[in-house]
């Protein structure tokens, strides 16, 4: 037996997002979000479902907090719905903030640390009608929203994330046409990428100003989703260029703006097939975007392997024989499946990718950057997997594939720490089975099963195993 033990004070927890779990889609003054609207579009959601009820977390919040406490998870990362707090994108709805104040108070009373994410994709539809993230005004409105949430919750929450996965809110949403607002306008995706990062920077400043005025110093950061990208043939110049391109838009574009205060020139050139991101950059924008942060959230699910375009095709332009692509300027890059296990999402499972990612981030971006000599600490803010688990005759869910996924990725995190990466925490995605965006309720990521007919919560084997990991700050590996 080998003991896998994490450093003292390592942060453990679970995560959810408002649109995926809350329900109460139009209660207490909540307005439509872009996801409420997309759910009404025929064919947009695999199972034609919606988020009117979801997991009904809005009404079951006290029971859910009690469940988190019972399972022994010391941190709960949740998101605030902008459409609930500001239904028109601008005007505060007090009842919307009341819900989150109650949630935070309940967490505190249960001894659970709240980790608040301001934006997990549910933009008020009213702002979408004003241009959404393609409009600079949305970035400015986001800062106002951050101030409003901090004014109510700033004294109760010590860790704040501005944005969750801006790649999804820009490229997957405005070019890939998969996430709301689900359009295929690559130039709009480029504009959205800049305005999301600008919104992050303006929100960091707004939060810091409000905190300083109150004599507080919360930890403020952002969460990016990373996917290590490999060439199908390392000896192929074309495949290596394909990997560079996808790594550029998926990983480096947001990270280098955040850390270095500039967009990588090669990625800007790749996207220029459709638009020059600098067309939306004004004086002072990059300084705002690169405001120092206190923590970098890392969401990791899978790496990917890619090849160059089919013979006779260019990298950029409309994708050959396929639907919209999120790879702006590199639409004809091809995914190459590997001889690896896959999750129910079809995502390859290779924990070594997480290990190498963490070392790369530490080496190239976070170890010497940030507000102090020690650099920027990393926390895994999402890691998990969807599998087709079902309860047995006794109601037991033996999700050993998910348990193994989490175990093996925790080993990768442990090995990265041993190799010098400054990783300070790990949060499982997700606490509950929930609405998996365009996949509807067809994919289950939860370590707690939700019976959608009764909304009963059933902890799975992975939840019980993870409880023991948290309790022991590690586990024994046979």
Q: Are strands 295-300 and 378-382 parallel, antiparallel or unpaired?
A: parallel
- Over residues 364-385, the mean pLDDT reads 83
pLDDT tens digits for 423-468?
999 999 999 999 999 999 999 999 999 999 999 999 999 999 999 9
Burial profile 145-183: b = 16 or more Cβ within 10 angstroms, e = fewer: bbbbbbebbbeebebbbbbbbbbbbbbbbbbbbbbbbbb
C-alpha to C-alpha distance for 282 and 284, rounded to whole angstroms: 6
Q: Is 382 one of the catalytic residues?
A: yes
Among 165, 178, 256, 291, which one carries the catalytic annotation? 165
Res. 64: pLDDT tops 90: yes
Q: Are strands 11-15 and 2-5 parallel, antiparallel or unpaired?
A: unpaired
* pLDDT band (50, 70, 90) for residue 36: very high
pLDDT of 369: 58
Give alpha helix (H) positions in 220-305. 237-247, 253-260, 265-271, 285-289
Percent of the chain at pLDDT > 90 equals 96
C-alpha to C-alpha distance for 65 and 52, rounded to whole angstroms: 21
* pLDDT band (50, 70, 90) for residue 371: low
pLDDT of 298: 98
* pLDDT band (50, 70, 90) for residue 320: confident
Question: Contact, 204 vs 162, CB < 8 A?
Answer: yes
* pLDDT band (50, 70, 90) for residue 321: confident
Q: Is 287 one of the catalytic residues?
A: no
Res. 368: pLDDT tops 80: no
Among 22, 291, 382, 436, which one carries the catalytic annotation? 382
pLDDT of 319: 81
Res. 372: pLDDT tops 60: no
pLDDT of 318: 85
Q: Does the model's pTM come out above 0.85?
A: yes
Query: What is the residue-averaged pLDDT of the chain?
Result: 97
């Amino acid at each position: 037996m080998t003991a896998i033990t994490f450093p003292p004070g390592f942060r453990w927890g679970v995560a959810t997002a408002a649109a995926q779990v809350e329900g109460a889609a139009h209660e207490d003054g909540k307005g439509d979000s872009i996801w409420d609207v997309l759910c009404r579009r025929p064919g947009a959601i695999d199972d034609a479902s919606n988020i009117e009820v979801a997991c009904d977390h809005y009404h079951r919040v006290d029971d859910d907090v009690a469940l988190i406490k019972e399972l022994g998870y010391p941190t709960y990362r949740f998101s605030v719905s902008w459409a609930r707090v500001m239904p028109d994108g601008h005007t505060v709805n007090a009842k919307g903030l009341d819900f989150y104040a109650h949630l935070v108070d309940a967490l505190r009373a249960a001894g659970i640390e709240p980790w608040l994410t301001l934006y997990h994709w549910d933009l008020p539809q009213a702002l979408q009608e004003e241009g959404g993230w393609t409009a600079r005004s949305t970035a400015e409105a986001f800062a106002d929203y951050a101030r409003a949430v901090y004014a109510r919750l700033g004294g109760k929450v010590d860790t704040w994330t501005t944005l969750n996965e801006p790649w999804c809110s820009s490229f997957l949403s405005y070019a890939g046409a998969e996430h709301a607002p689900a359009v295929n306008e690559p130039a709009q995706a480029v504009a959205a990428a800049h305005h999301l990062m600008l919104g992050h920077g303006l929100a960091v400043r707004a939060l810091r100003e409000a905190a300083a005025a109150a004599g507080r110093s919360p930890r403020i950061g952002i969460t990016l989703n990373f996917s290590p990208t490999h060439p199908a043939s390392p000896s192929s110049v074309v495949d290596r260029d394909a990997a560079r391109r996808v790594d550029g838009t998926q990983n480096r574009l947001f990270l280098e703006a955040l850390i270095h205060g500039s967009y990588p020139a090669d990625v800007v050139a790749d996207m220029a097939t459709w638009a020059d991101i600098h067309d939306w950059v004004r004086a002072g924008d990059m300084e705002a975007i690169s405001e120092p942060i206190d923590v970098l959230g890392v969401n990791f699910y899978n790496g990917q392997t890619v090849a160059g375009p089919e013979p006779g095709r260019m990298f950029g332009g409309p994708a050959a024989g396929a639907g919209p692509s999120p790879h702006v300027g590199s639409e004809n890059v091809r995914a190459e499946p590997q001889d690896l296990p896959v999750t129910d999402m079809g995502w390859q499972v290779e924990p070594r990718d997480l290990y190498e990612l963490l070392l790369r981030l530490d080496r190239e971006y976070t170890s010497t950057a940030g507000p102090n000599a020690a650099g920027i600490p990393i926390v895994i803010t999402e890691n998990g997997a969807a599998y087709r688990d079902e309860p047995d005759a006794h109601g037991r869910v033996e999700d050993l594939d998910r348990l193994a996924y989490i175990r093996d990725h925790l080993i990768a995190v442990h090995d990265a720490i041993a190799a010098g990466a400054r990783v300070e925490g790990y949060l499982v995605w997700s606490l509950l089975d929930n609405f998996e965006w365009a996949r509807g309720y067809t994919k289950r990521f939860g370590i707690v099963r939700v019976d959608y007919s009764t909304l009963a919560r059933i902890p799975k084997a992975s939840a019980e195993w993870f409880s023991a990991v948290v309790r022991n700050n590690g586990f024994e590996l046979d």
